[in-house]
Amino acid sequence: MDLSLLKRRSEHEWVIEPHGAMRVPGVLFANEDLVRAMDHKVHEQVSNVATLPGIVAASLAMPDAHWGYGFAVGGVAAFDPDEGVVSAGGVGFDISCGVRCLRTRLRREHVEEKKKTLADALFRTIPAGVGSRGRIRLKAAEMDRMLGGGAQWAVESGWGERSDLERVEEGGRMRDARPEHVSERAKTRMRDEVGTLGSGNHYLEVQTVAEVHDAPAARAFGLEEGDVVVSIHCGSRGLGHQIGTEALKDMLTAGRRHAIRLPDRELACAPIHSREGRHYLGAMRAAINVALANRQVLTHLTREVFAEVLPEADLTLLYDVSHNTCKVETHEVDGRARELFVHRKGATRAWGPGHSELPGALRGVGQPVLIGGTMGTCSYVLVGTERGMKVSFGSACHGAGRGMSRHQARKRWQGREVVQELERRGILVRSPSLRGVAEEAPDAYKDVSAVVDATERAGLARRVARLVPMVTIKG
Amino acid sequence: MAPSSRRRFEHFPHEADIGVRGRGETLAEAFAQAAVALTAVVTDPASVRARQAVEIGLEEDDPETLLFEWLNAIVFEMATRGLLFARFDVDLEGRRLSARAHGEPVDVGRHCPAVEVKGATMTGLRVAQERDGSWVAECVVDV
């Protein structure tokens, strides 16, 4: 990105002054290198979002921002409930895609001995990749209960423990979900997919804590150097995509009727109180529940595998975050508490210490912010900050972001070589698709450590621990 | 479908995702080839046998929305039936599309599917007639 288009407010804050139809400024949180590396489309998309009706304060971009459909991935925007809009492109198509992290009470050296058995057992048990089916077949009534109940539904159906729920956003169940707003086609796509990982950049990893950056916070999170954890990255599968795609078309019609001028079709949105807006919100919340249920069922399957291979393990949730959502939250704007519809697309909610929605054990320290890396690199656990609550609606980055297209990656690497190279480094990769592995090669992604470093320096969240993979199950 | 010496479908790179493009002497053929390009995101279309067929019928006001819905309908059939498609017979009459998609169930060992396509998008969505009278139909798909 051309730096002359930005005004530098501080070391890690860059402003796009309102121009054209922009109602508010754009703000990019990143260091100079990351901003330079961002393509011009991020500038255009952040500016486009700033033109939407009812946007509050600023259109934001996290340090890992890159091109997305309509809104940039890594975009955060809050809207006034009366004047504002909701946009499917502002949530993203994989609704409520996110990361869940489980502690195991096991140490690295102990798991190392059983690593291969563990990798093979996880690969047998966790449905992953194209054409895989879950263990659950949902009939209509049960489907609606899942859409309304999320991870709570999963726990009540025997897929987990009640204590899991307090470590999931919204207590494991998104309120105001409307299963009747979810189309039959979307439900059909989900019939066999609960408890499946999917493909693309989704994964399940056994990881070890390689480094602790913040000892008191790590203690509060129950993490120590050498501990083993499991991270699960996936979302609402085909259902979320179906809802997003249908809403895109629906909102284009609504936008025309409400005379919303759009510089890009993918920016389609509808007033929050319009029929289309309310319809999408009800369906989108049901899709959030699907993602929460999905990660809960995968948690249960993971526990089954550990019970068989490493029975001394005790898998408890550190936390579960979603990074593609629109949620109603209260934030202070210009000294006044306001209820806002906060879109986070490729951005993680990051509540600072003291937030009333955090469970007691975490309230003093802040929310765990789980940042997924790529296979073969590393992931991070961060913690929300007070500053983030003030400057980014309590939001932080979500991952590395691709640096290279799938096409380029496939030309550059062979899947088998990637697997062998990672095995030499002690990381066991299990995937049904070698081509998929090549397309997801670690070097096809940007450097997650640089993103996390900028997130910390911008004050959006603070590093707590760095995790490195031992086993990766790839879709 | 008439055999063609020229490759009628291709991909174009687009950020994290991938673009599918079909060409044809007729609009219907361009639509059919865009669908083959969609299969090629997942696997080599030549590895897919035409052993069963699915009927798809759609109606839209404009050709671009029709392409968007056509590709989304194929994504839906692939996802819910666990199929891959090798070949598409497409008929277009005004705003109405009727098609038969020929394929077989996913065989992970033989097809080595790389990635699921989750949906067509309106990014790079274009249906146009070229100067030589042939047609092109393309858009970016989300994987």
Dihedral pair phi/psi, residue B4, rounded to 5°: -130, 135
Residue A271 banded pLDDT, cuts 50, 70, 90: very high
Quick one: pLDDT at residue A403?
A: 80
Q: Looking at the domain assignment, is residue A371 inside a domain?
A: yes
- Considering only CB atoms, A130 lies closest to which of B15, B42, B65, namely B42
Cβ distance of A434 and B112 shorter than 8 Å: yes
Count other Cβ atoms within 10 Å, centred on residue A260: 20
Q: Looking at the domain assignment, is residue A244 inside a domain?
A: yes
Cβ distance of A265 and B82 shorter than 8 Å: no
Q: How far is B121 from chain A (nearest CA, A)?
A: 8
- Name the residue of chain A whose CA is nearest to B16's CA: A405
> Which residues, other chains included, contact A171 with Cβ-Cβ below 8 Å and sequence gap of 6+?
A152, A165
Cβ distance of B121 and A69 shorter than 8 Å: yes
Q: Which residue in the block uniquely carries the two structure tokens 């492109």?
A: A89
Give me the catalytic one of A241, A300, A343, A398: A398
Quick one: pLDDT at residue B6?
A: 57
Q: Looking at the domain assignment, is residue A428 inside a domain?
A: no
Task: Say how many Å lie between the first and final Cα of chain A, rounded.
Answer: 33
Quick one: pLDDT at residue A39?
A: 87
Q: Looking at the domain assignment, is residue A370 inside a domain?
A: yes
Dihedral pair phi/psi, residue A313, rounded to 5°: -70, 150
> Whole domain around residue A375: which residue ranges?
3-84+97-403+445-474
DSSP element (H, E) containing B142: strand B135-142
Q: Looking at the domain assignment, is residue A257 inside a domain?
A: yes
A192-205 confidence digits (pLDDT tens): 999 999 988 899 99
Q: Give the integer Cα–Cα distance in Å for B104 and B89.
A: 15
The helix/strand count (H/E) of chain B reads as: 3, 8
For this structure, is A398 an active site residue? Answer: yes
A371-394 confidence digits (pLDDT tens): 998 888 899 999 999 999 999 999
Cβ distance of B123 and A69 shorter than 8 Å: yes
Q: Looking at the domain assignment, is residue A439 inside a domain?
A: no
pLDDT greater than 50 at residue A55: yes
Q: How far is A281 from chain B (nearest CA, A)?
A: 20
Residues of chain B with pLDDT under 70: 1-7
> Which residues, other chains included, contact B20 with Cβ-Cβ below 8 Å and sequence gap of 6+?
B9, B11, B34, B37, B38, B40, B41, B71, B138, B139, B140, B141
Q: Looking at the domain assignment, is residue A427 inside a domain?
A: no
pLDDT greater than 60 at residue A294: yes
- Name the residue of chain B whose CA is nearest to A265's CA: B122
Contact of A303 with A310, CB cutoff 8 Å: no
Q: ipTM for the complex? A: 0.89
Q: Looking at the domain assignment, is residue A417 inside a domain?
A: no
Contact of A463 with A223, CB cutoff 8 Å: no
Cβ distance of A436 and B114 shorter than 8 Å: yes
How confident is the model over A149-177, as a mean pLDDT? Answer: 98
Number of domains in chain A: 1
- Considering only CB atoms, A406 lies closest to which of B18, B68, B76, namely B18
Residue A51 banded pLDDT, cuts 50, 70, 90: very high
Question: Domains of chain B (ranges plus CATH)?
Answer: 9-142 (3.55.10.10)
pLDDT greater than 50 at residue A349: yes
How confident is the model over A418-439, as a mean pLDDT? Answer: 93
Chain B contacts in chain A segment 373-412 (CB below 8 A): 401-402, 405-408, 410
> Which residues, other chains included, contact B114 with Cβ-Cβ below 8 Å and sequence gap of 6+?
A130, A199, A406, A410, A433, A435, A436, A439, B41, B42, B43
Q: What is the CATH number of the domain that holds A142?
A: 3.90.1860.10
A453-463 confidence digits (pLDDT tens): 999 999 999 99
pLDDT greater than 70 at residue A269: yes
Task: Say how many Å lie between the first and final Cα of chain B, rounded.
Answer: 28
Q: Which residues of B touch A245 (CB under 8 A)?
A: 72, 119-120
Cβ distance of B113 and A266 shorter than 8 Å: no
* DSSP string for A303-368: HHHHHHH-TT---EEEEEEESEEEEEEEEEETTEEEEEEEEEES-EE---TT-TTS-HHHHTT--E
Quick one: pLDDT at residue A212?
A: 98
Q: Which residues of B touch A401 (CB under 8 A)?
A: 16
Helix residue spans in A165-232 (DSSP H): 184-190, 215-221
Residue A130 banded pLDDT, cuts 50, 70, 90: confident
A103-122 confidence digits (pLDDT tens): 999 999 999 999 999 999 99
